[in-house]
Amino acid sequence: MKNIKILTERIIAFRDARDWKQFHNPKDVALSLVLEAGEVMEHFQWKSKEEMDKYVIEHKEEIGDELADVLYWVLLMSNDLKIDVLKALEKKLKKNEDKYPVEKAKGKHTKYNKL
Amino acid sequence: MKNIKILTERIIAFRDARDWKQFHNPKDVALSLVLEAGEVMEHFQWKSKEEMDKYVIEHKEEIGDELADVLYWVLLMSNDLKIDVLKALEKKLKKNEDKYPVEKAKGKHTKYNKL
Amino acid sequence: MKNIKILTERIIAFRDARDWKQFHNPKDVALSLVLEAGEVMEHFQWKSKEEMDKYVIEHKEEIGDELADVLYWVLLMSNDLKIDVLKALEKKLKKNEDKYPVEKAKGKHTKYNKL
Amino acid sequence: MKNIKILTERIIAFRDARDWKQFHNPKDVALSLVLEAGEVMEHFQWKSKEEMDKYVIEHKEEIGDELADVLYWVLLMSNDLKIDVLKALEKKLKKNEDKYPVEKAKGKHTKYNKL
């Protein structure tokens, strides 16, 4: 498994070879994040639970492609803003444990502030 | 640095302890992806280049939090659909090299199909 | 029923009284459109068909509020770009008739290019 | 100018002729709203202020098309949930006057809760 650090370096090398840093202000990069997340979502639109189950098996590669696009922009933005996103995720996971205690949250899709 | 595999395992353990798998169909998970990407984007709205430069330094932690949320859902969905997202990203990087050859793409923000 | 023209005029008068035109470049306005559409969508996340049926009756006003926010930005952007959005919609409706002929599209959620 | 009521009726007649009501649960319709709003936004990505000024004049029709798509789903959802979206917008405009008093909000892009 290639790790995040190496993949980030490749993303940045790819970008810098094309002299694209000039376009990568956080606002426009965040637009990419949203638009690529939208492309993931589009795969599932109008589909029933049963249709989705079938679809995700048959279109695993395409969906993986779109998820990779989202990850691409997460890593690029994290790099540019000097954010250690894995550390941020770890911290988040700890916070979530507190926001959603098992005994309160079990089996419910209620937002923490309404639990 | 915690790696992606360990973080994914923690995300899934957190989810399963709360019996939330039942809600995590790909459509609703993709909604989270889009909504969290939107929260990243919201940080930069209405801001000029100069305001953003200042803002990203002062709000590094909050932005990191939101990027971590996006990554969270990328990893959860990849896990559920049995997608190796790092491998997908690596493949993507190779594809992008072909779609955007340096000599054609250098210094331009043109989509590959219009280069 | 108040009409679109009058509502647009009120939106612009509200904006101009606050000297906000300076912020309303199309990119940032489009961000609002996406973020407000996201707020509509958030209402339905994680909900089953049955939960949604109940929810939309009990939260009609909140959902109406969010839809109004989306409409707000549609009208503001149309005004600023001198687009007659009702005319554009009418044209769209005609185009859709061709893209989705009844005999081909009936009962199917297939995109026109795959029909 | 065709009015909203007539356009809504045409949207619904178009839909019902294709027997598509079965797919139009609020969640999937809201996805359309977000995805179409994303298509508006995509027009402006990576562009500087100057590029946008030029672009909006040359691509008025395409942008109008996308805005019409957003409006389409606003009207369809409003119809299905029995929401009078023009009335909701009018109410919103009144609320905004209170949230953003001229003397406090003039010339600032600060959210009402931080004014």
**pLDDT per position as a tens digit, C34-88:** 999 999 999 999 999 999 999 999 999 999 999 999 999 999 999 999 999 999 9
How many other C-beta atoms can be found within 10 angstroms of the C-beta atom of residue A80? Answer: 16
What's the mean per-residue pLDDT of chain D?
94
pTM of the full structure? 0.95
- What H or E segment, with its residue span, contains residue D99? helix D85-99
- Contact, A76 vs A11, CB < 8 A? yes
Q: What is the pLDDT of residue D61?
A: 97
Number of Cβ pairs closer than 8 Å across C and D? 204
Q: What's the CA gap between B53 and A55, in Å, rounded?
A: 42
Output the pLDDT for position A111: 85
Neighbours of D61 (CB within 10 A): 10
Q: What is the DSSP letter of B100?
A: S
Q: Which of D27, D46, D109 sits opposite B109 (nearest CB)?
A: D46
Tokens of B4: 């992606």
Which of chain D's residues have a Cβ under 8 Å away from the Cβ of A41?
31, 34-35
Q: Touching check for B34 and chain D: CB below 8 Å?
A: yes
Residue A1's pLDDT band, with cuts at 50, 70 and 90, is: very low
Chain C positions touching D69 (Cβ under 8 A) are 92
Nearest alpha carbon to residue C73 among B6, D89, A59, D105? D89
Structure tokens at C85: 């959005």
Contacts of C74 in chain D (CB under 8 A): 67, 70-71, 74
The pair of three-digit structure tokens given for residue C60, joined into one six-digit string: 């009609």
A56-83: per-residue pLDDT in tens?
Answer: 999 999 999 999 999 999 999 999 999 9
Round to whole Å and give the CA distance between A96 and A61: 31
pLDDT for the residue B115? 83
Contact status of D31 with chain B (Cβ, < 8 Å): yes
| pLDDT reading at C1 higher than 50 | no
Give the pLDDT score at A112: 82
Least confident of A70-79, D36-45, D102-111: D102-111
> B35 vs C28: CB contact, 8 Å cut-off?
no
Q: What is the pLDDT of residues C85-104, one digit of tens each?
A: 999 999 999 999 999 999 99
Length of chain A: 115
pLDDT at B29: 98
Which structure tokens are listed for D36? Answer: 């179409």
Q: Please tell me the distance from the alpha carbon of residue A107 to that of residue B17, in angstroms, as a whole number.
A: 9
Q: Which residue of B has its CA nearest to D31?
A: B31
- Tokens read off for A104: 């309160």
Give start and end residues of each alpha helix (H) in A1-115: 4-17, 26-42, 49-58, 60-80, 85-99, 102-105
Query: How close does chain C come to B66, measured CA to CA in Å?
Result: 15
Contacts of C54 (CB under 8 A, 6+ apart): none
- C109 and A31 within 8 Å at the Cβ level: the answer is no
Residue A11, Cβ neighbours under 10 Å: how many? 20
Residue D43 DSSP label = T
Output the CA angle D107-D111-D115, nearest 5 degrees: 70
Pick among A67, A90, A94 to test the B interface (most B CBs inside 10 A): A67
Nearest CB partner across the interface for D90, out of C7, C47, C85: C7
Of A74, A99, B86, A55, the closest CA to residue C110 belongs to: A55
Q: Give, for D61, the enclosing helix (H) or strand (E).
A: helix D60-80
Give the SS3 label for residue A96.
helix
Beta carbons of D25 and C49 less than 8 Å apart = yes
For A49, counting Cβ atoms within 10 Å of its Cβ (0-12 exposed, 13-18 middle, 19+ buried), the class is exposed
Between CA C15 and CA A18 the distance in angstroms is: 40
Distance CA C38, CA B41 (A): 12
Is this prediction's ipTM beyond 0.85? yes
**The length of chain D, given as a count of residues:** 115
Contacts of residue C33 in chain D, CB cutoff 8 Å? 37, 40-41, 70
Under an 8 A CB cutoff, do A28 and D41 touch? no
Residues 41-70 of D with CB under 8 A from C: 41, 43-45, 47, 49, 52, 56, 60-61, 63-65, 67-70
Q: CA of D103, closest CA in chain C: separation in Å? A: 8
Interface test with C, best of A31, A42, A43, A47 (most C CBs within 10 A): A31
Q: Which one of D14, D44, D64 has the shortest CB-CB distance to C30?
A: D44
Going residue by residue through chain B, which has 115 residues, state the pLDDT in tens, using 9 for 90 and above. 458 999 999 999 999 999 999 999 999 999 999 999 999 999 999 999 999 999 999 999 999 999 999 999 999 999 999 999 999 999 999 999 999 999 999 999 888 888 8
**Mutation site, C109, C110, C112, C113, interface A, largest A CB count within 10 A:** C109
The answer to whether residue D60 scores a pLDDT higher than 60 is: yes
Q: Which of A20, A81, A92 sits opposite B56 (nearest CB)?
A: A81
